[in-house]
């Protein structure tokens, strides 16, 4: 699926315009901080910097329970002082410390993403620069428990 990103909601979700219709995309294999969570806005800005307003290619891997299309996202990044380069957005978010490797029942679903997360943790990159980074799934649980 190829389209233009028209809205970035958070660090792992955006709307892709395909045939003049928005399609909600959930970046698969990662879990970014929630919007109101520490690093949530930075994670959203990181994703937006790679995809917002740019044509991207998404390899659809399924649909989640909220109706979002799950996808591997590829973008072409062009900087004024450097040649254009293709970026695997999912990995870039984890590598730069803007997301965790997605876990299912406590286990990372993609070993490559877990390796990138481990490297980002070791280098104290992005959210790993904070001493007490809280995983998004724990943050969501805390918010539900607190009635928010």
Q: Is 117 a catalytic residue?
A: no
Q: What residues are paired with 31 via a beta bridge?
A: 100
Domains of the chain: 2-145 (2.40.50.90)
Give the active site residue among 21, 24, 34, 103: 34
Q: What percent of the chain has pLDDT over 90?
A: 70
65 is catalytic: no
Q: Compute CA distances 138 → 30, 33, 57, whole Å.
A: 15, 10, 31
| Catalytic one of 44, 68, 92, 117 | 68
- CA angle centred on 134, ends 109 and 13, rounded to 5°: 55
* pTM, full prediction: 0.90
Annotated active-site residue in 26, 69, 92, 117? 26
Q: What is the mean pLDDT of residues 70-94?
A: 92
Residue 135 is a catalytic residue: no
pLDDT of residue 134: 81
- The predicted structure's pLDDT at residue 148: 65
Arithmetic mean of pLDDT, 117-128 = 96
CA 118/CA 19 separation, integer angstroms: 39
């Amino acid at each position: 699926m190829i389209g233009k990103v028209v809205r970035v909601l958070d660090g792992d979700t955006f709307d892709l315009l395909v045939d003049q219709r928005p399609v909600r995309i959930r970046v698969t294999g990662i879990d970014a901080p929630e919007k109101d969570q520490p690093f949530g806005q930075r994670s959203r800005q990181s994703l937006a910097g790679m995809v917002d307003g740019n044509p991207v290619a998404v390899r659809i891997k399924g649909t989640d329970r909220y109706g979002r299309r799950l996808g591997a996202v590829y973008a072409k990044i062009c900087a004024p002082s450097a040649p254009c380069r293709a970026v695997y957005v999912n990995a870039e978010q984890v590598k730069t410390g803007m997301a965790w490797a997605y876990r299912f029942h406590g286990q990372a679903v993609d070993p490559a993403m877990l390796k990138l997360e481990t490297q980002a943790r070791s280098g104290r990159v992005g959210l790993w620069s904070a001493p007490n980074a809280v995983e998004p799934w724990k943050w969501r649980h805390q918010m539900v428990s607190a009635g928010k």
